[in-house]
Structure 1
């Protein structure tokens, strides 16, 4: 699908569109109120009034058309963002699996590492896996040792930086330890 010009979908254009439609609506409502209450001091010719109404009507139609184009663009951008999020999520899962394989994590260590990366505490992991906190602590220490990191923050930072293509972990280490 071709990219729409920013003039149609940009913030200023949408504000201008809103002001155009508001002006047209004020014209119609104002004209009706003036006619209803007879407050017009000097009537304008019917021909002039008809041209003004046609102009206001065309303004509303133009606003509706540009609004539709903007609406479709917003939907397209939303679908694109969702697609990118799915790709990033899948890429993150792939990176996790690759690293877990390279580090030689056991199935239990993989589960603990994944739950730890998701932000669960040691107690929550122990409860979820139906094991003791001591077992989880031993497994997390083994994970950190195999990954070449000092703790959960450094482990998570390594994954994030790898996805971002940076590969630099604070403290001078480069990326996550790989067994290559």
Structure 2
């Protein structure tokens, strides 16, 4: 098994354009679409995604569920519900880490060796970007240390600031450049 930092990539790109086995959607608990990356994924995937999501009965914060990718280049969409930032004393860090772990577990269940994540909870849910990037990288590295079924994790950032923070978190936690 390779060292986890070899499996991490940070890019700035539209996640709906990635040709990987699975992309992760920062969804709301209804799974019926919303703003930000959730809305972009629903629009790009097409109406069949909403139809499938209607049958999933929502999703709890920190959990993840999968659907097909429909009109996306990705085969699957893994929907995870990140925590809304409430100051940091409501278990937000643990819930955010759970989003990454559960999404990777669902990726393995669907035989998806390459997974792309957005910066979960850092948009409308207001999770501080520095903390969110460190939690994302730490949870992912810890997960990858115990499996050989995930070949690549892509942190697909919406903007340069998020990209920089994820690269910094990888350097701090893994001692490696991205």
- The two structures have a TM-score, normalised by structure 2, of 0.23
As a proportion of its length, which structure holds more strand?
2
Q: Which has more helix, going by share of residues?
A: 1
TM-score (norm 1): 0.23
